[in-house]
Chain A
């Protein structure tokens, strides 16, 4: 009954919103400077480098300048947009997070899943999404997008370009958002995602041809996508299979999932299982962190496990099949790679940066970026370190599991809802496919590679300035 009342209230509120925005849109807005160029920043959720390149091969975005966009780790939408747009912080990397101070999980289960949908625009919108002038077309935009992404796109773009034209009458910078590419990638694979991008390119050209004002578009995104059908696994099963006890809280009096108390002191961890992604955040007591990382990295469903070794000095560990590699990220961004010979799997050329005895490699921040861009884990040092230090997550994990491209954490499953069909490609991990998106612009030359964290410096409008 309570849920029905809440749904009715929310529905009524959204109906009010629709009527109110209809009222506002009926107010004519004067042109303040018809000759001025309007810059449109189009955030396309889940636009992978791979899909973009395929769209370009079909003639889309011809003449645009592009750069590899290195997105944050873990690559989840809420966290990545929050970080990219410098829009405050989340509790963790998603709406569901574990607060180690209160020793309590927040926004878990069904309520967290519902919250995830609501706060991406319907009610109580996260600050990052509030930054966009256009987010979605109506209260059912997400539901319609999941039911049929490609059928939803034309109507969404109608509304989007109408907002762009209206807002450009008085503003020089407009931020708009499209979710369909991400949903299409999850539910139907890369081909529909490419079609979405091709259609966006076509609509941009049609729009610009019909407008008297000159527009310059810039496309960016929040994460890539592996674009592979994925095995869905439960993080709790990974923990159990590797000898780590999944728990709901940490410390004395720990309540064990399943009601079983540990006999001695095996490593325990609290998994944060929210939506379907290719990473898992774990919280563990300090004495267990290294052991949890080492054990879980041996799972066939885990590619890498990463964790801080010493937060004070900036040392981090990357565990692969139980073996630890270590690096330090110093305050100025310099990367110190311990035992470079152990990092062969990285596919990075560390040779030019080796110390005389070969015991360390020392790379300036940009060198570390460049050295890793061609390998399987672009910008891994920066991405791993900042996953634990960036203020966009108030309670960063103690251990992060990065999954192979064909594996995803199944996330919370709605009781009785059956298997949700999305299993055609995910993001969140450290892998190349999940990491790389693209920055594409009509506004001028770009360097070959740009980090998402630097976008707001390059385009101040993304951090809410100049509007």
Chain B
């Protein structure tokens, strides 16, 4: 898995290098301005991935030969296919890769199928730099492989209002039977662009059914320019038995071209 994820990075960089300026599209995030225009002319495109982990996805894919490399995602568009990895998870010995195939791209609707694989080491909960961010999930005795697949749709309600929803099936594989499970979830977010560069998102979803049903609500802020996209937010995850905890959502990426 490490080989898979690391082998994608040169491809991403290559894609960025060969892409032509001005080739961006709505799907790439922000359409390039015409010569002489200012940032107010930018038209925001639908997000090409979700921010809440595992369960959130969008129906938009990268434009062909467009790419982005950042904290949460490094991916490239190859025709209707977007492939990538989540670099920050590699830091935690969790090699991973994903692919998303755009099925439909009409004026207002994007539809895609996606699949992801994450390979978690034994005791994944102890891989952190510190120990002040504990996770409810712990696998002290065996590694775990996450296989997530599903479909996602994005609807451009208005140029400044985008809605995204996804349905995901998560298959957890492990040599230890205690960790194995199959669960499903629905998640989505609505993004409102206050300006072409700045947006606010409202996140919600319910997931992990029937294994351990969770739900979440969250809020995040986005800022993007032609070559940079930043997002940060906070969600509250509600677990069975009336307990809850916070989820920090972060992303930052350079976009190419």
Which of A's residues lie within 8 Å of B, judged by CB?
13-32, 121-125, 129-130, 132-139, 141, 158-159, 161-167, 169-171, 206-207, 210-212, 467
Identity of the chain A residue whose Cβ is nearest the Cβ of B96 in the assembled complex: A23
Cβ contact of B129, chosen from A16, A134, A138, cutoff 8 A: A16
B59 at the interface (CB under 8 A from A): no
User: B29-37, B175-183, B222-230: which one contacts chain A?
Assistant: B175-183
The CA of A16 and the CA of B93, in the complex, are separated in Å by 13
B107 at the interface (CB under 8 A from A): no
The answer to whether A28 touches B72, judged by C-beta atoms less than 8 angstroms apart, is no
The answer to whether B53 touches A26, judged by C-beta atoms less than 8 angstroms apart, is yes
Q: Which size class do B's interface residues fall under?
A: 35 or more
User: Chain A residues near B129 (CB, 8 Å)?
Assistant: 13-14, 16-17, 123
The answer to whether B136 touches A165, judged by C-beta atoms less than 8 angstroms apart, is yes
User: Chain A residues near B159 (CB, 8 Å)?
Assistant: none
User: Chain A residues near B212 (CB, 8 Å)?
Assistant: 28-31, 169
Query: Shortest Cβ distance from B170 into chain A, in angstroms?
Result: 7
Identity of the chain B residue whose Cβ is nearest the Cβ of A212 in the assembled complex: B241
User: B13-21, B97-105, B150-158, B247-255: which one contacts chain A?
Assistant: B247-255
Cβ contact of A24, chosen from B72, B137, B214, cutoff 8 A: B137
B189 at the interface (CB under 8 A from A): no
The CA of A14 and the CA of B130, in the complex, are separated in Å by 7
B62 at the interface (CB under 8 A from A): no
User: Chain A residues near B131 (CB, 8 Å)?
Assistant: 121, 125, 129-130, 132, 135
The answer to whether B136 touches A167, judged by C-beta atoms less than 8 angstroms apart, is yes
Query: Shortest Cβ distance from B82 into chain A, in angstroms?
Result: 20
The answer to whether B132 touches A158, judged by C-beta atoms less than 8 angstroms apart, is no
User: Chain A residues near B183 (CB, 8 Å)?
Assistant: 28
The CA of A136 and the CA of B131, in the complex, are separated in Å by 8
The answer to whether A20 touches B179, judged by C-beta atoms less than 8 angstroms apart, is no
The answer to whether A18 touches B133, judged by C-beta atoms less than 8 angstroms apart, is yes
Give 17 CB contacts A-B under 8 Å.
A15-B248, A19-B249, A21-B133, A22-B246, A22-B249, A24-B125, A26-B214, A26-B237, A27-B54, A28-B181, A123-B129, A124-B130, A133-B134, A138-B246, A158-B243, A158-B245, A165-B239
The CA of A137 and the CA of B134, in the complex, are separated in Å by 8
Cβ contact of B132, chosen from A136, A210, A467, cutoff 8 A: A136
Main secondary structure on A side of the interface with B = helix
Give me 16 other A-B pairs in contact (C-beta within 8 A), A20-B128, A25-B247 excluded.
Answer: A19-B248, A19-B250, A21-B133, A25-B136, A27-B144, A28-B183, A29-B211, A123-B129, A123-B130, A125-B130, A129-B131, A133-B134, A162-B136, A162-B243, A167-B138, A212-B241
The answer to whether A25 touches B245, judged by C-beta atoms less than 8 angstroms apart, is yes
The answer to whether A24 touches B124, judged by C-beta atoms less than 8 angstroms apart, is yes
The answer to whether B132 touches A121, judged by C-beta atoms less than 8 angstroms apart, is yes
The answer to whether B179 touches A30, judged by C-beta atoms less than 8 angstroms apart, is yes
Query: Shortest Cβ distance from B103 into chain A, in angstroms?
Result: 25
Known: A28-B211, A162-B243. A18 touches B135 (CB 8 A): no
The answer to whether B214 touches A28, judged by C-beta atoms less than 8 angstroms apart, is yes
Interface flags for B160-191 (1: CB within 8 Å of A; 0: not) read: 00000000001010000011110100000000
The answer to whether A28 touches B207, judged by C-beta atoms less than 8 angstroms apart, is yes
